[in-house]
Chains A and B, each alone.
Chain A
Amino acid sequence: NPYAGLVSHLRASWLSRKTRPMEYRVTQLEALGRFLDEKKQVVLEATAADMGKPPFEVELSETLLCKNELHETLNNLSHWMKDKQVDRPLATRLDSAFIRKEPYGVVLIIAPWNYPIYLILGPLIGAIAAGNCVIIKPSEISKNTERLIAEALPQYLDKDCFAVVTGGVQETTRLLENKFDYIFYTGSPSVGRIVMTAAAKHLTPVTLELGGKNPCYVSDTCNVPNVARRVVWGRFFNAGQTCIAPDYLLCSLEMQEKLLPALRAAIMEFYGPNPQESPDFGRIVGDKQFQRVRRLLCSGRVAIGGQTDEAERYIAPTILVDVQPSDPIMQEEIFGPILPIIIVANMDEAIDFINSHERPLAVYAFSSSDKVVNQILERTSSGGFCGNDTLMHVTLTSLPFGGIGNSGLGMYHGKFTFDTFSHHRGCLKRGMGRESLNAPRYPPYSQKKFGIVRATSKVTRKDDCTLL
């Protein structure tokens, strides 16, 4: 077990209790803030090298989101760490009942390649805030960022409590043989199963942030140019390599005809006449992924885009029409800059289509009618939902972010991350006096004792009188 030494080193640090005081956690978190500021240029270079990530996107989706999490956490940490007092039933009214948030111990964060900074730091901030020791496993596919994380993080964080492990499938498999107290995994459903199976051997709780095909329904009544812009933005951000990107569009034939020119206009507005030359359009992360996405272009017919350049791993922002549900592009999460349009007769058909597939990470619905948006919300199930926009629901730290069914289990962001990495321990402190009050619960039993037990164990209602 090549990682046994590392894990036991971290476990020893954990047992030394050094990660428990708030001051320690704040110091580590502030160091992460300095990492984001001081390594900004290196991050831009690494993500550009990995997937041609436009600097503008890095700012919005990596740096800004991390900073939000950091600030939210630092602003609220002392409040989150406090014991939460709770109401007590009559029998325990004179006692102190509270929930103590405790770190789990040594936790593992496995991150993907598509938002390599945000998807490490997001969970990491919460794990540190909650008082854990952490092993970070960045993705080997975004190899420049992997190297950056492996070299830089140890310069900022306490090496005894936080470690980075690099490597591929083999290394991750060996790493998963160890016992962790929590595992946070972001990636695909198939690997999610492997992670959870490994976790089961040690009864390790997990959060799995997975993926799926996020449907985007556009109703017949809507502001077409605005819809087009929001959809284009969400689909082609990071060249489509976003777990919550709108994966496919559902609309009527009528709407498709109106949308196509608007989509074309939005693409032109954002990326210019030749997106390959735009500094604001990314590339596919690797050759394998490029081949996979390019193969999907054969579904239906290319209405917009379709150009590719293998040397650059460039795939143009593409819209496909005449796509059938049985086409290859509808069998897997696209994770690329291609948006297929599936024709549905009406909203009900769209809802049935969505519900006949695995529950996705996000559902999107565009309509000027509140009623339509609400119908889609109420009659479908997904990790999250955004009406009349794409992606934006994940930018709020007050909303939980997670999947359901095949798209994942658990949730995080903001306080939810802190809670994810904490054990909520139910505590009751009683006094040794007033033993006579306990008498009714002890054997030997009698009807009278029993009546008192009944009365004092009932759930309190607001106007109950107290015992005294």
Chain B
Amino acid sequence: MERMQHVIARARAAFNSGRSRPLEFRIQQLKSLERMVQEKEKEILAALHADLHKSGPNAYSHEILGVLGELALAMEKLPSWAAPQPVKKNLMTMRDEVFVNFEPLGVVLIIGAWNYPFVLIMQPLIGAIAAGNAVVVKPSEVSENTAKLVADLLPQYLDRELYPVVTGGVPETTELLTQRFDHILYTGNSAVGKIVMAAAAKHLTPVTLELGGKSPCYIDKDCDLAVACRRITWGKYMNCGQTCIAPDYILCDPSIQSQVVENIKATLQEFYGEDVKSSPDYERIVNKRHFKRIMGLLEGQKIAHGGESDEASCFIAPTILTDVSPDSKVMEEEIFGPVLPIVTMKSVEEAIDFINCREKPLALYVFSNNKKLIRRVISETSSGGMTGNDVLMHSVVPDLPFGGVGNSGMGAYHGRYSFETFSHRRACLIKDLKMEVVNKLRYPPGSQEKVDL
């Protein structure tokens, strides 16, 4: 614990020295990170495979590709992001300098999650470094191989005092949260999100909370079911369902339910072959605790497909449940596993009401050929983000802010938004000491004349 305080104090001293502020320094650190990702690609993929049984191509495209993209974007745009922004002046300030300065916050804390353990540390880290901060990095202990790798690699490539890695579980994180930071970005679940925010409140520390929820997926009768189901299958079973923006459950008319099931089954065959367990492209549940939790959700459900499991290897087959009751356990919590419940809805109104009487989700999906229907679903619901006629993809558009609302979180990041999240926008007005005559209008003694002017 003392060591942790010492590490944070050292980061603060390093920040106070000012060396993380010059753009050249920040870009040099980002370049170094880029080198790390390129040079240690094999090790990173190996860690991801060990933690989640993630295949090389999968791991590369879900974790490494995104990180390289963010690094390239940050390095290219940093000069323009960090430049003082002049703003509109009024008559009184016409001759003055009026601008917004983007300044680092200080020492920030990033708490990662285990499901995309590399990118969920790296993407915020890139923004935090770009914004000129010192950063304490706390990877999730659940994805222990990636945590260990991050702890080993970052000090080899980055300034050791400015960007320390702290490892550990709940006790260490609790201790970490008693310390004072200038921003905390946490990715994880809502229950812990509340704990993080309450701890932050003691120090008036602003937070970005990337949480979760049950992301609904509405399939309209009027749509190309084969295409819709292929896209949904991809997003749902990617990383064995352990994706915060995975389509959690399906809402559709009872008349198309069995077609949906057939289409998903066909797609699963296409993606993973006859024997899913032996497909190198299918991941595993991260640990026994989550395995048991997800298996528990199947109790009493109508299993239309899948259901097979193997505890020893934390394998759960891609599973589809039909005619699921809204009151069942599988409809209470975020599934975070390869189980896809279908709840039937007689109309889009019913679906909208259903979605709206639940917590606001991180993502929302709607499939339809009817553009008016899609527009309606967007405007009559709320969610962190959404994609129409596909899943997950809004999260890869770099200029879209990525974050939740309500129970699914607060704040947003990705691309420029990461930079802004970790920056303070300081309003600046610089006048000169002359032109005092203009000021006389505002000085007492007051008069109606002055007021009218």
A residues near B (Cβ < 8 Å) are 15, 17, 54-57, 59-60, 86-89, 91-92, 97, 99-100, 102, 104, 181, 189, 192-193, 196-197, 199-201, 203, 205, 208, 210, 222-223, 225-227, 229-230, 233, 269-272, 278-281, 355, 366, 368, 370, 373, 377, 381-389, 392-396, 398-402, 404-406, 408-411, 423-432, 435, 438, 441-447, 449-450, 453-454, 457-459
Does A192 contact B204, Cβ atoms closer than 8 Å?
yes
CA of A404 to CA of B427 in the docked complex: distance in angstroms? 12
A-B CB contact pairs (8 Å), 25 listed: A88-B397, A89-B397, A91-B396, A92-B396, A97-B399, A189-B204, A193-B201, A203-B194, A203-B211, A226-B439, A227-B433, A366-B433, A383-B427, A388-B430, A399-B428, A404-B105, A405-B182, A408-B204, A426-B412, A429-B374, A429-B388, A444-B279, A446-B57, A454-B61, A458-B72
CB-defined contacts of A15 to chain B, threshold 8 Å? 356
Does A432 contact B397, Cβ atoms closer than 8 Å?
no
Report whether over half of chain B's contact residues are helix, strand or loop; otherwise say mixed: mixed
CA of A227 to CA of B436 in the docked complex: distance in angstroms? 10
Does B436 contact A424, Cβ atoms closer than 8 Å?
no
Give the Cβ gap from B133 to chain A, nearest Cβ, in Å.
12
> Chain B interface residue count: which class?
35 or more
Does A399 contact B429, Cβ atoms closer than 8 Å?
yes
CB-defined contacts of B387 to chain A, threshold 8 Å? 427-430
Give the Cβ gap from B220 to chain A, nearest Cβ, in Å.
11
Does B230 contact A435, Cβ atoms closer than 8 Å?
yes
Does A443 contact B281, Cβ atoms closer than 8 Å?
yes
CB-defined contacts of A458 to chain B, threshold 8 Å? 69, 72
Does B356 contact A55, Cβ atoms closer than 8 Å?
no
- CB-CB contacts of B417-446 with A at 8 A, as 1s and 0s? 000000011111111111010010011111
CA of A423 to CA of B412 in the docked complex: distance in angstroms? 10
Partner of B209, one of A104, A203, A423: A203
The 9 closest A-B pairs by CB, nearest first: A56-B446, A426-B400, A280-B444, A196-B201, A200-B197, A387-B430, A86-B399, A445-B57, A426-B385
CB-defined contacts of B436 to chain A, threshold 8 Å? 223, 225-226, 229
CB-defined contacts of B282 to chain A, threshold 8 Å? 443
B227 interface hit (Cβ, 8 Å)? yes
Does B202 contact A203, Cβ atoms closer than 8 Å?
no
Partner of A459, one of B72, B198, B200: B72
* Stretch from B41-49, B93-101, B154-162, B341-349 forming part of the interface with A: B93-101
Does B399 contact A385, Cβ atoms closer than 8 Å?
no
Does B93 contact A392, Cβ atoms closer than 8 Å?
yes
User: Contacts A425-B382, A427-B386 known; A405 to B444 CB distance under 8 Å?
Assistant: no
Does A428 contact B390, Cβ atoms closer than 8 Å?
yes
User: Contacts A86-B397, A233-B442, A435-B227 known; A395 to B92 CB distance under 8 Å?
Assistant: yes
Does A86 contact B427, Cβ atoms closer than 8 Å?
no
- Give the residue among B193, B384, B406 with the most A Cβ atoms within 10 A: B406
CB-defined contacts of B369 to chain A, threshold 8 Å? 432
CA of A408 to CA of B281 in the docked complex: distance in angstroms? 47
User: Contacts A203-B193, A203-B410 known; A393 to B281 CB distance under 8 Å?
Assistant: no
User: Contacts A200-B194, A203-B190 known; A442 to B270 CB distance under 8 Å?
Assistant: yes
- CB-CB contacts of B227-258 with A at 8 A, as 1s and 0s? 11011001000000000000000000000000
Does A443 contact B271, Cβ atoms closer than 8 Å?
yes
B35 interface hit (Cβ, 8 Å)? no
Does A427 contact B378, Cβ atoms closer than 8 Å?
yes
Give the Cβ gap from A67 to chain B, nearest Cβ, in Å.
12
Partner of B405, one of A381, A425, A445: A425
Q: Which B residues between 84 and 111 are near A, CB-CB below 8 angstroms?
A: 87-90, 92-93, 97-98, 100-101, 103, 105-106
Does B281 contact A445, Cβ atoms closer than 8 Å?
yes
CA of A165 to CA of B136 in the docked complex: distance in angstroms? 42
Give the Cβ gap from B128 to chain A, nearest Cβ, in Å.
16
B407 interface hit (Cβ, 8 Å)? yes
Does B234 contact A441, Cβ atoms closer than 8 Å?
yes
Does A270 contact B69, Cβ atoms closer than 8 Å?
no
CB-defined contacts of B190 to chain A, threshold 8 Å? 203
CA of A222 to CA of B205 in the docked complex: distance in angstroms? 37
Does A383 contact B432, Cβ atoms closer than 8 Å?
no
CA of A233 to CA of B405 in the docked complex: distance in angstroms? 43
CB-defined contacts of B395 to chain A, threshold 8 Å? 426
5 extra interchain contacts, Cβ-Cβ under 8 A, other than A223-B434, A459-B69, A459-B73? A100-B378, A270-B445, A384-B427, A429-B387, A432-B228
